[in-house]
Amino acid sequence: MDEKIIKRALKDSFTKLSFTVQLQNPVMFVVYLSAIVTTGLCGLSIFGIKDASIGFTACISIILWFTILFANFAEALAEGRGKAQADALRNAKRTVTAHKLKNRNDKKIYTDISSINLRKGDIVIVSAGEPIPADGEVIEGVASVDESAITGESAPVIREAGGDRSAVTGGTTVVSDWLVIEVVNEAGESFLDKMIAMVEGASRRKTPNEIALQILLIALTLIFILVTITLYAYADFSAKQLFVENPTSMTALIALLVCLAPTTIGALLSAIGISGMSRLNEANVLAKSGRAIEAAGDVDTLLLDKTGTITLGNRQASSFVPVDDHTERELADAAQIASLPDETPEGRSIVILAKEKFDIRERTLNVLNIEFIPFSARTRLSGVNMNGTEIRKGAADSIKAYVENRGGTYSDECDEAVRKIANVGGTPLVVAKDDSILGVIYLKDIIKSGVKEKFADLRKMGIKTVMITGDNPLTAAAIAAEAGVDDFLAEATPEGKLAMIRELQSKGHMVAMTGDGTNDAPALAQADVAVAMNTGTQAAKDAGNMVDLDSSPTKLIEIVRIGKQLLMTRGSLTTFSIANDLAKYFAIIPALFMSLYPQLGMLNIMGLHSSESAILSAIIYNAVIIVALIPLALRGVAYKEVPAEDLLKHNLLVYGLGGIIVPFIAIKVLDFFIALFV
């Protein structure tokens, strides 16, 4: 609730009073017309043409205008958060000088032009300290890039030619080295331009569920219009039969219509939808449409990449398995020495495990007189030469060949240890010293903390989790069992991912997945909710209907939570709004017709003072409740990972029963204070 946002929202509340803006919300448009009519009736009263007392008509008119303003304020406040973020993005979007290469092979010959004159396909070079002038793909070079203007993350990221981290965004800054970039978007169509449009809500279209709810609200409003007209005709007929004046005024009937129509949810519906996009923006996710957020709320199947999402991304040493009468400490000591120069995550984990299990301290490489033998794809092993001793670690077949070439033997015991580790989804790393095999290091994928519990929560909500991995089926099955996912796709290929999504969708499932590579693009384009990583290729970002600026694969779970929270908020407030009508019915109907039908006094269970005080109390409550519910509409209802039937019970109890009780109390309190001044 920033002061600047509130001031802008207050101003926009009056701007939105225009006829064309109000026409976009049919329910509130009825209130808008009602306010105009009562204002006209108030004006006629001045000239002696009375519908009801001028004070009563004036009060109803003023309250109806405030009802419209409150609804406008709710929508403007939701939009204000997006506009504030758009202002920040505009500050990042600036015209800069671009170094356009005449020949990509000669980086010293370039022409300086304005970034707004760049076209798709142009090649530019950007050096350290310079802003990237346009969206593009890195075609040469590797550099650190500051993307804080886009993502808010201060740590620079690496961008390089080839692979899945080649996309760069205009407005970011090269921190070190240089990049040759091919422009992929025309001026005005950059990712930053699209972001500004999306966060302002300019491209937010109503989703199917939102349209369906809007149709329901319109239908209810039309029904209540017919009911109100019928009530007036019936009251007029009854008054003539009793030879009395018709006690129902046009002002009272308009108040009745406004109170019975679902104005609360009608006023907050746009705010709920816009705030859903805003909450995604706060999570650093950009949705290309409101439809994508709502689809996230309906998702029942999540396709999750194993590496970086379910596991930490690097295999780590878990245990030492000695063979051929060697001791575990002997194996650990040799493995640590072989890993001292190895700066890979796996190598460092071996050093740490040896230290933790046997208190074997790291030693200085130059003191040990070590010659490091780096890993290569050809030999598939690494190690050290130390004072005439050779220690090697690597794949089983590579170490077997190495030992046998030196006259040693590869025992059945070692083969059995390798097989057991592979069967449980681990990676066996065999260690040899000269011509003797010492044992096997068990490397395993480390499941992220809390992931298994999170998947259990998703299962309670009826969401199936599927792990996607390039591992063999045996390894994939072991990791899937440990992580607690429901299913897995092993040895995944682009065709395999696409086929799985299509098969799930053919069975009626709503599928969500993440991806960052060009090979993910077909599956992303097919998925109902497709989250592309900002660090990924342009093809992936184009195929997805959401972009995660943080490039975190686990963000998919948060997106589903926000989508479900949006649907829960809309459902809860709809329940509350309709339940409110019951209390307002008991407030106004008896008050309006008691003079014609005294028996209706039995329905005046709140004991309201008079017909005018009852109507004023109900119409004031109808306006004030909109303001009271704005924070809930913007924040969303509390999200709980429970089955749908439990959510329904909670919804009916809190917002259904609460929607009946709250207006009874509020209208009675308002009636008490109004009676003091009547």
The proportion of the chain whose per-residue pLDDT surpasses 90, expressed as a percent, equals: 20
375 is in an annotated binding site: yes
**Tokens at residue 667, please?**
């209208």
CA distance 77 to 267: 12
State yes or no: 342 annotated in a binding site. Answer: yes
Catalytic residues: 305
Residue 441 has pLDDT above 90, yes or no: yes
Average pLDDT over residues 299-314: 77
Query: Phi and psi (nearest 5°) for 372?
Result: -85, 130
Contact predicate 664/301, CB 8 Å: no
CA-nearest of 258, 278, 256 to 266 is 258
Compute the 3-state secondary structure of the chain and give helix, strand, coil in percent, each to the nearest 5.
Answer: 55, 15, 30
**377 annotated among ligand-binding-site residues:** yes
Question: Helix/strand/coil (H, E, C) string of 158-173?
Answer: EEECCCCCCEECCCCE
pLDDT digit string, tens, across residues 221-232: 899 899 888 888
List pLDDT tens digits, range 69-125.
999 999 888 777 666 666 666 665 667 788 888 877 777 788 888 888 888 888 999
Selected residue with higher pLDDT from 39 and 88:
39
- Concatenating the DSSP letter of every residue in 179-227 gives EEEEE-S-TT-SHHHHHHHHHTTTT-PPPHHHHHHHHHHHHHHHHHHHH
Q: What are phi and psi of 446, to 5 degrees?
A: -95, 115
Residue 272 vs residues 43, 488, 537, 581, 595: alpha-carbon distances, Å: 36, 36, 32, 21, 42
Any known ligand binding at 516? yes
CA pair distance 201, 392, nearest whole angstrom: 60
State residue 84's pLDDT score.
Answer: 67
CA 39 to chain CA mean position, Å: 44
Q: Is 346 annotated as a binding residue?
A: yes
For the chain, first and last CA: distance in Å? 37
Q: What is the mean pLDDT of the chain?
A: 83
Q: What is the DSSP letter of 655?
A: I
Q: How confident is the model at residue 321 (pLDDT cuts 50, 70, 90)?
A: very high
Does residue 205 have a known ligand-binding role?
A: no
The residue to which tokens 């209208």 are assigned: 667
Q: Is the pLDDT of residue 203 over 60?
A: no
Predicted confidence (pLDDT) per residue in 150-180, tens digit: 665 556 778 888 766 778 888 788 888 889 9
506 marked as part of a ligand binding site = no
Q: For residue 628, what pLDDT is reported? A: 93
Q: How far apart are CA 67 and CA 38, in angstroms?
A: 13
pLDDT at position 202 is 44
Nearest 5°: CA angle at 60, between 32 and 678?
A: 170
Lowest mean pLDDT among 259-268, 286-295, 330-339: 286-295
pLDDT single digits (tens) 388-419: 889 999 989 999 999 999 888 899 999 999 98
Q: Is 153 part of any known ligand binding site?
A: no
Query: Quick one: tokens of 199?
Result: 């966060």
Find the angle CA(44)-CA(47)-CA(50) to the nearest 5 degrees.
55
CA distance 60 to 138: 64
Q: 635-672 burial string, b = 16+ CB within 10 Å, else e?
A: ebbeeeeeeeeebeebbeeebbebbbebbbebbbebbe
- Extract the runs of DSSP E, i.e. beta strands, from 454-528: 464-468, 487-489, 511-515
Does residue 550 have a known ligand-binding role? no
Q: What is the pLDDT of residues 521-566, one digit of tens each?
A: 888 888 888 888 776 667 777 788 888 877 776 677 888 888 888 8
